[in-house]
Structure 1
Amino acid sequence: MDINKIKELILPLILSLTLGLAPFFPEPHILGKIKWVAGGANGMQLIDWFDLVLHGAPWLLLLITIVRLIIPEKKDSGQTS
């Protein structure tokens, strides 16, 4: 793997492991929110949805970065019609 690709992963990975999982005990916060939504989201208020987005955003960024690194970019042939 190219060193530049690894560098692109560092920030999303750090964000996911810190903000994405905080607070860590008794369970990562994002897991509690996902369980809540999977259980029907009964009693969730707007602040809970915002919290889910806040803790989920680093994971989404990490996923997008990984997909961008795996799928090769289409090279422009430089020819115009």
Structure 2
Amino acid sequence: MKFIDSLPLSTFLLAALTLGLAPFMPEPHIWEKLKMLADGTLSRPIDIFDLVFHGAPWMLLALKLLRGAGSSEE
């Protein structure tokens, strides 16, 4: 967790907005994979990898925000 705490929030935000949304056209991969997950059609290994790969920056950003919110209460 020290590694996440040591990086600025802007790093996680930039990663989420670039890698997390790439490719931008015709629709972001993360959105496409989330729709597939909701439909129950997310079964190919490449699709699962894409969900994890493009979702990781968003999860790290959420973790950074949650860690920041928790540290301000102390």
Aligned runs of 1:1-80 on 2, under 5 Å? 8-41=8-41, 44-72=43-71
Q: Deviation above 3 Å: which 4+ runs of structure 1?
A: none
Structure 1 or 2: more helix by fraction:
2
Structure 2 gaps of 5+ residues are none
Structure 1, 66-75 or 31-40: larger mean CA deviation? 66-75
- Structure-1-length-normalised TM-score: 0.76
Larger Rg: 1
Provide the secondary structure at the position in 2 that maps to 1:27. coil
> What is the Cα-based RMSD across aligned positions, in Å?
2.2
Equivalenced residue count is 69
Structure 1 gaps of 5+ residues are 76-81
